[in-house]
Amino acid sequence: MGKAIDFLIHPLELKAAFQLKYIRNPLFYIDSTASPNEKECYKLLNLTSRSFAAVIMELHPELRNVIMVFYLILRALDTMEDDMSIDTKLKVELLRDFHEKLDLKEWSFNGNSPDEKDRAVLVKFDCILHEFHKLSKKYRDVIQDITKQMGNGMADYILDENFNLNGVETIADYDKYCHYVAGLVGDGLTRLIILAQFAPMSLYDLEKDKELPSYESMGLFLQKTNIIRDYAEDLHDGRSFWPQEIWSLYADKLTDFQQTGNEQKGLECINHLVYNALSHVDAVLNYLSSIHEQSTFQFCAIPQVMAIATLAKVFNNPTVLHKNVKIRKGTTCYLILKSRTLKGCVEIFEYYLRDIRKRLPVEDPNYLKINIEVARIDQLIEEMYPDNNLPPNVKPRETELYLKVKERTKFDKEVIPIQQDEDLRINVYLTFIFAITFSILIQFL
Is 304 a member of any domain? no
Under the banding of pLDDT at 50, 70 and 90, the label for residue 139 is very high
Is 213 a member of any domain? no
* Dist. CA 169–CA 382, nearest whole Å: 36
- One of 64, 140, 191, 229 is an active-site residue; which one? 229
> What pLDDT digit, counting tens, does each position of 106-127 carry?
999 999 988 888 999 999 999 9
Check: pTM over 0.85? Answer yes or no: yes
SS3 326: coil
Cα distances (angstroms) measured from residue 100 to each of 95, 96, 129, 143, 186: 10, 9, 12, 12, 22
- For residue 75, indicate whether it is catalytic: no
Is 189 a member of any domain? no
Output the domain CATH number for residue 91. 1.10.600.10
Taking each helix axis from N to C terminus, what angle separates 400-444 and 294-314, rounded to the nearest 10 degrees? 70
Residues 286-293 have a mean pLDDT of 96
Task: Provide the residue range defining the domain that includes 100.
Answer: 30-159
pLDDT > 80? residue 2: no
Under the banding of pLDDT at 50, 70 and 90, the label for residue 33 is confident
Share of the chain above pLDDT 90, in %: 78
Q: What counts of helices (H) and strands (E) characterise the chain?
A: 23, 0
SS3 222: helix
Is 258 a member of any domain? no
Is 77 a member of any domain? yes
Of residues 80, 131, 78, the one with CA closest to residue 109: 80
- Cα-based angle 427, 337, 5 (whole degrees, multiple of 5): 70
- For residue 438, indicate whether it is catalytic: no
- What mean pLDDT value characterizes the chain? 93
Is 262 a member of any domain? no
- One of 299, 315, 349, 352 is an active-site residue; which one? 299
Is 310 a member of any domain? no
Evaluate whether 112 touches 67 at the Cβ level (below 8 Å): no
What pLDDT does residue 407 have? Answer: 95
The three-state (H, E, C) secondary structure of 226-288, written as one string:
HHHHCHHHHHHCCCCCCCHHHHCCCCCCHHHHHCCCCHHHHHHHHHHHHHHHHCCHHHHHHHH
> What pLDDT digit, counting tens, does each position of 405-444 carry?
999 999 999 999 999 999 999 988 888 887 887 788 787 7
Residues 268-295 have a mean pLDDT of 97
- For residue 299, indicate whether it is catalytic: yes
CA dihedral in degrees (128, 130, 135, 139; nearest 10)?
A: 50
- One of 71, 98, 139, 177 is an active-site residue; which one? 177
Evaluate whether 41 touches 72 at the Cβ level (below 8 Å): yes
* Dist. CA 261–CA 338, nearest whole Å: 41
Sign of torsion, CA 385 387 391 396? positive
- One of 29, 239, 354, 359 is an active-site residue; which one? 239
Terminal-to-terminal C-alpha distance of the chain: 25
391 DSSP assignment:
P
> What pLDDT digit, counting tens, does each position of 353-399 carry?
999 999 999 999 999 999 999 999 999 999 999 977 777 778 888 89
What pLDDT does residue 3 have? Answer: 58
* Dist. CA 308–CA 241, nearest whole Å: 19
Is 415 a member of any domain? no
* Dist. CA 45–CA 252, nearest whole Å: 42
| Amino acid letter, 445 | L
Evaluate whether 331 touches 309 at the Cβ level (below 8 Å): yes
pLDDT > 80? residue 445: no
What's the number of domains the chain is made of? 1
CB atoms within 10 A of CB 90: 11
CB within 8 A of 215, min separation 6: which ones? 183, 186, 187, 189, 190, 203, 204, 207, 287
Which residue stretches of 359-399 are H helix? Answer: 367-384
Residues 7-17 have a mean pLDDT of 77
What pLDDT does residue 193 have? Answer: 98
Residues 181-202 have a mean pLDDT of 96
